[in-house]
Amino acid sequence: MNKKMLFLTVLLMSPVAVFAANQTMQMGGHGSLSPASQELMAGMKTMHDDMMAGVMSSDPDVAFAKGMIAHHQGAIKMSETQLKFGKDPEMRKLAEEIIKAQQPEIDQMQEWLKNHQKQ
């Protein structure tokens, strides 16, 4: 594995390790989680699973694009959860800005993959 791929893997795996550790600590209290927390956790799990699958490509450019698409989709899902449950105007505005900024980036990376990924 070359250094770039190793760096990318470590970079994208760091949040996974934190998330896994947090889930282990929270196992006993799942019944007490709010609907918002439950939705955020489900979205994070999907994001991390998809990021892991994405970075498996041996082509670092493809791995980056696939990993970042999953990461951005997770950010959008979390932002949608914030808009569904959140009340603070500043956090709601930030969630809206995240959606607005990251959806075009997802579209750009998906288009790039269509044009550059080896079949």
Number of domains in the chain: 1
On whether residue 74 sits in a domain, the answer given is: yes
Dihedral angle, C-alpha 64, 69, 72, 78, nearest 10 °:
-130
On whether residue 64 sits in a domain, the answer given is: yes
- Residue 119: the pLDDT is 47
On whether residue 62 sits in a domain, the answer given is: yes
- Per-residue pLDDT tens for 51-106? 888 888 899 999 999 999 999 999 999 999 999 999 999 999 999 999 999 999 99
On whether residue 19 sits in a domain, the answer given is: no
On whether residue 102 sits in a domain, the answer given is: yes
Helices (H) and strands (E) in the chain, counts: 4, 0
On whether residue 107 sits in a domain, the answer given is: yes
Range of the domain at 101: 34-116
In contact, 55 and 14? CB cutoff 8 Å:
no
Over residues 13-28, mean pLDDT: 55
Non-local (6+) Cβ contacts of 66 within 8 A are: 53, 54, 55, 57, 113
On whether residue 109 sits in a domain, the answer given is: yes
On whether residue 39 sits in a domain, the answer given is: yes
